Amino acid sequence: MNPFSYARASDPGDAVLRGAAQGSQYLGGGTNLVDLMRETIERPSALVDVTGLSDRIEERPDGGLRIGAAVRNTAMAEHPLVRSRYPILTRAIVAGASPQIRNMATVGGNLLQRTRCAYFYDTDGARCNKRQPEQGCDARDGFNRMHAIFGGSSSCVAVHPSDLCVALMALDPTVHTLSSQGEREIPFAELHRLPGDRPDIETMLEPGELITGLTLPAVPLGARSAYRKVRDRSSYAFALVSVAAVLNVEDGRVQDVRIALGGVAPKPWRAAKAEAALRGAPGNEASFAAAAREELADAVPLRDNGFKAELARRTIEAVLSQLAGEAA
């Protein structure tokens, strides 16, 4: 590990002041960042601990919630208002990592955790454009069973690893940030970038920009939600494919539907084609199957991961059928 200084921020302004210094990086629970520092993939010269900031969950007048960036993943999953209004978030969080990691990990850190692509972690032998721009990508022609079938580029096919982010993608939250330029609100769908020819730039945040929290809009009454994660082991494994869905069927027709996929793209993937096909359609298995087929028709599998397209198709169909069954 390289030498670095450590300071605990006393308030958001203090954090941003310290975070603006060259080589500074924010420290949440450290469950991802410290690993990356050990591997020398991340080399901050200063860590600004932000776990003392904004760790509250507050109800909004419209029935939504404001969640501070320093809320621990366990605290968020267990909060009564999250469990009752956004069970999809609780399910996504507990599907990830281990209880010990979830006790440490924060909302802000979870949003910005980095890919688990094995080539990104292999500092001894592998080429990786995300780790070192313009170096090349060994995943594209290497063992790419875990990699992207949507949104990849010739520079990068790594997938985004967060379960929480997939569930958030189906809820359209707003991300709140603070930097030396002031406060900003970013629609969650715009936070993460696709790789293009700059896979090292993963979000639209500016250097030193601090995530202070999230606002979740109220979920319409009558909507049902689910998060299903398919993985190689039943616990402690990243998703091969995951599906987050919110479905509202009234009088047999789909009034509203949101579907997001994990494990398939460099960012949490909104299944916009499937959603468009379903709005106003009968809320039955035939519509769900057709919509899932339409979404997966655009998949671009790599050598080893063609199975993900079929797996995602079936999982979308199964999750929507489950939700429609619950609504009946």
Ligand X SMILES: Cc1cc2nc3c(=O)[nH]c(=O)nc-3n(C[C@H](O)[C@H](O)[C@H](O)COP(=O)(O)OP(=O)(O)OC[C@H]3O[C@@H](n4cnc5c(N)ncnc54)[C@H](O)[C@@H]3O)c2cc1C
Residues that bind ligand X (CB under 6 A): 25-33, 50, 69, 96-97, 101, 104-106, 108-110, 112-113, 161-164, 210-211, 238
Minimum Å gap between C-beta 11 and ligand X is 13
Q: Output the residue with the shortest Cβ distance to ligand X.
A: 109
- For 244, phi then psi, to 5°, come to -110, 130
Q: Are 136 and 125 in contact (CB under 8 A)?
A: no
Minimum Å gap between C-beta 31 and ligand X is 3
Minimum Å gap between C-beta 134 and ligand X is 22
Minimum Å gap between C-beta 64 and ligand X is 20
- Give the dihedral sign, CA 316/115/38/102: negative
Q: Are 296 and 312 in contact (CB under 8 A)?
A: yes
d(CA 128, CA 132): 6
Is beta strand 224-230 parallel, antiparallel or unpaired with respect to 210-216? Answer: unpaired
> Residue holding tokens 């199975």?
307
In DSSP terms, 277 is beta-bridged to none
Give 17 or 101: the residue with its C-beta nearer to ligand X.
Answer: 101
Give 138 or 163: the residue with its C-beta nearer to ligand X.
Answer: 163
Q: Are 51 and 73 in contact (CB under 8 A)?
A: no
* The amino acid at 280: G
Give 196 or 207: the residue with its C-beta nearer to ligand X.
Answer: 207
CB atoms within 10 A of CB 174: 17
d(CA 251, CA 258): 18
d(CA 319, CA 226): 7
Give 10 or 154: the residue with its C-beta nearer to ligand X.
Answer: 10
> Residue holding tokens 């993937």?
269
Minimum Å gap between C-beta 190 and ligand X is 16
Give 92 or 254: the residue with its C-beta nearer to ligand X.
Answer: 92
Minimum Å gap between C-beta 38 and ligand X is 11
Give 23 or 325: the residue with its C-beta nearer to ligand X.
Answer: 23
d(CA 168, CA 130): 24
Give 177 or 248: the residue with its C-beta nearer to ligand X.
Answer: 177
Minimum Å gap between C-beta 79 and ligand X is 17
